[in-house]
Structure 1
Amino acid sequence: MVFAARQLQEKCQEQHRDLYTAFIDLTKAFDTVSREGLWKIMAKYGCTEKFIRIVQQLHEGMHARVQDQGELSEPFPVLNGVKQGCVIAPTLFSIMFSAMLTDAFRDGNIGVNIKYRTDEKLFNPRRLHAKTKIDTIRDLLFADDFALTANTEADLQTSMNRFSQACSNFGLTINTEKSEVMYQPAPGKVYAKPNITTSGRKLKVVDRFTYLGSTLSQNVTIDDEINTRISKASSTFGRLHRNVWHRCGIGQATKLKVYRAVVLPVLLHACETWTVYQRHARKLNHFHTVYLRKIMNI
């Protein structure tokens, strides 16, 4: 989804289109799913009665207790939601969420229209006058991380209204404190702060947003993302300073294995989604060289 989000930004810029994105946070999304509604949706989507009964049995007899100042409350039944940490919980939530989105947008197909070609050069704006295809991208979804997209402020507001109504119908609640909007104007267009509301409350407008661990910026570059990754990798390296890097009983070969296994994944998280320029490569190479020298004490 990070790759899709970055591609959407780049193609809107390339095709001189505005991009409005609402990153929506749901309040306790997994804990508020209506189980009875979920069983009905699974049946509608073709799941067998036997399979549905098995899933139901996994959720029967759930109880919880509250701890306050070292004391535990009496157990009470948990009647809503899917199990946190269960391997099938994201899939069950996605089934319910898919049905909700179908209900929300059944009367229209608002979104970002992307023109493309599947022959010769993809996304070449000089060749889009013939034999082009158009796909509409309305939302980005990974588990309960959700984003709505549109080319105009009015379309995004319409999508928000429909989504908000669908959330009410399915028992979910939008967290207006954590939901944010980012506007990327077309090249050469003056920035105008959008006004998007839901449930009578205005959503915060930002120029960058951390989506699935990656920083998306309104200016479409990955400068902020590179700086964030370097900062986090440096912090990860620092936490191992005493126990690994400066510990005499650990050989350099082992230290390098730890560096590759622990530090580099933090530095290069979601790097396959980046559009890298020389300035970014220089920063990454500089970090790599400096910290290898620290490991080798040179």
Structure 2
Amino acid sequence: GKILARVLLNRLTQHMEDGYLPESQCGFRKGRGTVDMIFAARQLQEKCQEQNRDLYTTFVDLTKAFDTVSREGLWKIMRKFGCPDKFINMVRQFHDGMLARVLDDGDSSDAFPVTNGVKQGGVLAPTLFSMMFSAMLSDAFCNDEETNIKIRFRTDGKLFNLRRLQAKTKVEEGSVRDLLFADDCALNADTEDKMQQSMNCFSNACKSFGLTISTKKTEVLHQPAPQKPYVEPVITVEGEPLKTVDKFTYLGSTLSRSVNIDDEVELRIAKASSSFGR
């Protein structure tokens, strides 16, 4: 079973890399890792500062994301993404007939069927979830780049001359909205209204795909433009305001609204001192 699952994973991974996963997804992909997303998040902070813009980032926490995936919906998504029916049926066999028991103070309940979620512990689970998450994001934003952050850049080696970014030639523009690592999602916008609009779209798509946003664990980080006073934003999910923070630990790295890396350095020094002191 494990060998077959690995064979299916290799074929599915190759297929998904053919443009079916968003460029912003770095979870469980060859040649990508948490360091890429941390670098992207810090670069976004720095570029917004350089270009005198606000940055709003909402770190979305999904409640038991892997366990709540609709399997019937997943098979439809796989078919939509071009997976053959025979391949889908083979993946489906790994999920059919799953049973679970609940342990309570040493006592075990009767077995009951598990009909939702990807198979935890299986090698296919992360890629199957990424496929579903990709479809959900596509449904949420429908290739609408209105809420994206536009970043102007040059690749001709003139790294530190900001006035060159105002030129009409040799300047490229990229757009950023989400930073993804498996089910870790950071949504970005450069105005409070756009941030709220993105959260509304994301929340509606989550409901359609059977996912639930944990409003207690979802947090907002607002980085004001230079020389601009800080105003705490009010971002809501279905009318419930989200917590606003001054710093957030993203994939193990501390991001601060002051764009100061000192918090991260101090934390790592403290951890090193603690380890040496044992």
The question of 1:94 aligning with 2:135 is answered no
The aligned counterpart of 1:74 is: 110
The aligned counterpart of 1:37 is: 73
State, as a whole percentage, how many aligned pairs show the same letter: 66
Among 113, 117, 123, the residue aligned to 2:150: 113
Among 46, 50, 56, the residue aligned to 1:10: 46
The aligned counterpart of 1:177 is: 216
Aligned residues: 239
1:1-298 correspondence runs (5 A): 1-106=37-142, 108-109=144-145, 110-122=147-159, 124-130=161-167, 131=169, 132-238=171-277, 241=278
| Gap change, CA 1:27 and 1:102, over 3 Å in 2 | same
Instruction: Write the distance in 2 (CA, Å) between the matches of 1:138 and 1:34.
Output: 26
The aligned counterpart of 1:286 is: none
| Gap change, CA 1:181 and 1:114, over 3 Å in 2 | same
TM-score, scaled to structure 1: 0.78
Contact 1:11 1:114 in 2 (8 A): yes
Contact 1:39 1:52 in 2 (8 A): yes
Instruction: Write the distance in 2 (CA, Å) between the matches of 1:183 and 1:24.
Output: 14
Deviation at 1:121, TM superposition (A): 1.8
Instruction: Write the distance in 1 (CA, Å) between the matches of 2:79 and 2:160.
Output: 41
| Gap change, CA 1:123 and 1:29, over 3 Å in 2 | farther
| Gap change, CA 1:123 and 1:156, over 3 Å in 2 | farther
Contact 1:116 1:128 in 2 (8 A): yes
The aligned counterpart of 2:15 is: none
Instruction: Write the distance in 2 (CA, Å) between the matches of 1:101 and 1:108.
Output: 11
In structure 2, what residue type is equivalent to 1:116?
A: F
Choose between structure 1 and 2: higher helix proportion: 1
Deviation at 1:107, TM superposition (A): 6.3
Instruction: Write the distance in 1 (CA, Å) between the matches of 2:49 and 2:143.
Output: 28
- Structure 1 SS opposite 2:233: coil
Cα RMSD, aligned residues only: 1.3
The aligned counterpart of 1:294 is: none
Deviation at 1:235, TM superposition (A): 3.0
Contact 1:117 1:123 in 2 (8 A): no
Instruction: Write the distance in 2 (CA, Å) between the matches of 1:157 and 1:12.
Output: 19
Q: Which runs of 4+ in 1 moved over 4 A?
A: none
Instruction: Write the distance in 1 (CA, Å) between the matches of 2:123 and 2:55.
Output: 35
Instruction: Write the distance in 1 (CA, Å) between the matches of 2:160 and 2:182.
Output: 29
List runs of 5+ in structure 1 lacking aligned partners: 242-298
List runs of 5+ in structure 2 lacking aligned partners: 1-36
Instruction: Write the distance in 1 (CA, Å) between the matches of 2:217 and 2:56.
Output: 17
Shifted more, 184-193 versus 117-126: the winner is: 117-126
Deviations 1:188-217 (A, max 9, x none): 000000000001100000010011111111
Deviation at 1:75, TM superposition (A): 1.0
In structure 1, what residue type is equivalent to 2:256?
A: S
- Structure 2 SS opposite 1:128: helix
In structure 1, what residue type is equivalent to 2:142?
A: R
Instruction: Write the distance in 1 (CA, Å) between the matches of 2:275 and 2:117.
Output: 35
Deviations 1:131-183 (A, max 9, x none): 21111101111100001100000000000000000001100000000000000
Deviation at 1:234, TM superposition (A): 2.9
Deviations 1:248-283 (A, max 9, x none): xxxxxxxxxxxxxxxxxxxxxxxxxxxxxxxxxxxx
